[in-house]
Amino acid sequence: MPGLPDPLETLIRALLRWPGIGPRSAQRIAFHLAREEDGELRALGGLISGLPDSLGSCSRCSNFSEGDLCPICLDVRRDDATLCVVEQPDNLAAIERSGAYRGVYQVLGGSISPLRGVGPEDLRIETLLERLSEGKIRELILATNPTVEGEATALFIARKAAPFAVSITRPATGLPVGGELDYVDKGTLARAFEGRQQVPDD
Amino acid sequence: MLLTLRVRAFRNLALQEIAFGSDLVLVTGANAQGKSSLLEAVYQLATTRSFRSRDPREAITHGEDALEIGGEISQAGSPSVSLSIGRARGRGIRRLCVGQYIVKLEEYLEYLPALVMTGESTRSIAGSPSERRRYMDRATASALPGHLPDLAEYRKALAQRNQLLRQEGSDEELDPWDRVLASVGERIAARREEQIRAWQELLPQWLDLFPEGRASHLFYRRALPRSMNSEQGASTEKASLAEGLARARMSDRRTRVTSVGPHRDDLGIEVQERDLWRFGSAGQVRSSVLAITLAQARRVRQLRPNAEPVLILDDVDSDLDKTRFDALLMAARKEGQTFAATSKPSLTKGLLARKLSVEDGNILSDDESGSATGRP
Ligand SMILES: [Zn+2]
């Protein structure tokens, strides 16, 4: 943008890399920050720069976590015989919001995509299989995104999990094609979970 | 029916709004004045796509940042509604509106299905299987809008499988992509097959345009691995795509590209058991494509009784005489509002229609443009 001081320009460019932020929102946020008081800005900066130290990932499910285990893995009331596989913590948060699920999770960290150079070994599939081998889990829900990459990832995992003889399901269709789990509204997500279907063997 | 059209920064067209108000709109003008651009604007308003370039953003006027097309459509039994599409350069921002609401593509496409024939496409269809696939997919998607998201998914999955073939991925890694491709691919092939069967049945309706209509056989040709072709001969009915992909895998690994599936399938037509694309005369090919397109429009009406299609005929008259041109237009307007462009004003004589001429990007209605001299 012409006529903007360098610090603002740089900030706008940094904000543009954030998800869902277009040029107009980036400018609005940057201008808002520029008008903010010193104390507020330093507090916000501290929050952001402190993240690497304050936030880690759960040693069991890889959800974001402050301590070794995330609140879900620590919660004894959760049903640990049901395991739901998601791509990212965002998806987990969306499912939690829907209130339709009381089991535990495994966050994969993405989906298989040869074009982006992501293979099965780059996802936490080995961790998942180890958890299955402990013998406690009876149902595995493959809630990867309804994209071709999510679908292929689910099928890959279903094949790998077959020897453990657990029930393998996938949330019902009706999710928008090519969408992402966290953009789906609560009701739709809850229905998709309730109507989950067995993944057929090939 | 499209009642009005408004364009801004669309190719060489001047900023303007035109009223149509007829089920037949004839556009005349010398070459490069903007006839095709006018039809393209109608098509882009209806489908968000272009029939002239892969990237619809190419239609943004040179030196402008964004184009806008808008139009009012009448609907049987309900009030008229306005559609508009805005498209910007750069990051390819697209805004689709119905009335005052921004809508998603799926919803937008509910309103105005469109079919297009151009002089160029009738020629290239004979020579190019990929052109034929585009031709059948455009019509299939107009009749069954669910076809489009499937095509997009299929393209993504195909690109992933091909990448995996290039990087010599394991069988275990290829398997899930084969399954995804097979399930989306079967849906695509089934829809195409269903449409082709319907077009075939409808073809004899237009014998005056395509006299061979009764003796011709329209069919869907599936690309299958060689081993399956030789075993099953011509009867490929039972061969599944899953099986085809499995059998082709070895050779696909060598060539590093997926050799079976809807991206290799084809639309075939035989007249008295002779392949029309290869052995038909230019005239036969053109009239078969015209008749098939009319059948496509009829099929859209059958499947979507609430959405009347528009037919766009750009420069299809190259070797049609006046009688056959008239017959084509009469047949087309029965299937939906028809927009036809020709560089031969004599062809439009005696036709009851809205007549427009285009000069240097300005669209003039017949009475405004005056007689043969054009500009005052
Ligand atoms: Zn956890």
How much is the pLDDT for B98? 95
A155–chain B Cβ distance below 8 A for any pair = yes
Q: Which residues, in sequence order, are bridge partners of residue B5? A: B18, B71
Q: What is the mean pLDDT of residues B81-102?
A: 90
Beta strand pairing call for A79-86 and A139-142 = parallel
Q: Given an 8 Å threshold on Cβ–Cβ distance, is A152 in contact with B157? A: yes
- Which residues of chain B make contact with A199, given a CB cutoff of 8 A? none
Q: Which tens digit of pLDDT belongs to each residue from A139-173? A: 999 999 989 999 999 999 999 999 998 899 998 76
**8 Å CB contact between A137 and A128:** no
**8 Å CB contact between B206 and B213:** yes
Q: Is the pLDDT of residue B232 over 90?
A: no
How much is the pLDDT for A161? 95
Q: Given an 8 Å threshold on Cβ–Cβ distance, is A114 in contact with B156? A: no
Whole-model pTM over 0.90:
no
Q: What is the ipTM of this complex?
A: 0.85
Confidence of residue B344 (pLDDT cuts 50, 70, 90): confident
**8 Å CB contact between B202 and B295:** yes
Confidence of residue B374 (pLDDT cuts 50, 70, 90): very low
A149–chain B Cβ distance below 8 A for any pair = yes
How much is the pLDDT for B318? 76
Q: Using CA coordinates, name the residue in chain B closest to A202.
A: B179
Q: Using CA coordinates, name the residue in chain A closest to B154.
A: A148
Whole-angstrom distance, CA of residue B156 vs CA of residue B306: 32
How much is the pLDDT for A154? 95
Q: Given an 8 Å threshold on Cβ–Cβ distance, is A156 in contact with B179? A: no
Interface of A with B in 30-89 (CB under 8 A): none
Confidence of residue B235 (pLDDT cuts 50, 70, 90): very low
- Per the listing, tokens 């005929």 go with B313
Smallest CA–CA distance, residue A46 to chain B, in Å, is 33
Whole-angstrom distance, CA of residue B274 vs CA of residue B211: 15
A175–chain B Cβ distance below 8 A for any pair = no
- Which residues of chain B make contact with A152, given a CB cutoff of 8 A? 157, 160, 176-177, 179-180
Q: Which tens digit of pLDDT belongs to each residue from B78-89? A: 889 999 999 998
How much is the pLDDT for B373? 33
- Per the listing, tokens 């030196």 go with B63
A112–chain B Cβ distance below 8 A for any pair = yes
A149 alpha carbon to ligand 1 midpoint, in Å? 24
Q: Given an 8 Å threshold on Cβ–Cβ distance, is A155 in contact with B175? A: yes
Nearest to A114 among B160, B179, B184 (CB): B160
A163–chain B Cβ distance below 8 A for any pair = no
Interface test with B, best of A16, A148, A151, A156 (most B CBs within 10 A): A148
A86 alpha carbon to ligand 1 midpoint, in Å? 12
**8 Å CB contact between B91 and B22:** no
Q: Given an 8 Å threshold on Cβ–Cβ distance, is B172 in contact with A152? A: no
A68 alpha carbon to ligand 1 midpoint, in Å? 8
**How is the beta sheet containing B101-102 ordered, strand by strand?**
B16-19, B2-8, B66-75, B78-88, B94-98, B101-102
Using CA atoms, how far residue B149 sits from A15, A147, B105, B152, B196, in Å, is 31, 11, 10, 5, 20
Interface test with A, best of B179, B181, B257 (most A CBs within 10 A): B179
Whole-angstrom distance, CA of residue A32 vs CA of residue A25: 10
Residues of chain A short of pLDDT 50, as ranges, are 176-178
Q: Given an 8 Å threshold on Cβ–Cβ distance, is A159 in contact with B176? A: yes
Confidence of residue B352 (pLDDT cuts 50, 70, 90): confident
Nearest to B153 among A114, A120, A178 (CB): A178
Whole-angstrom distance, CA of residue B262 vs CA of residue B273: 24
DSSP secondary structure letter of residue B286:
H
Q: Which tens digit of pLDDT belongs to each residue from B169-211? A: 999 999 999 999 999 999 999 999 999 999 999 999 999 888 8
- Which residues of chain B make contact with A120, given a CB cutoff of 8 A? 173
Quick one: what percent of chain B has pLDDT higher than 70?
94
A96–chain B Cβ distance below 8 A for any pair = no
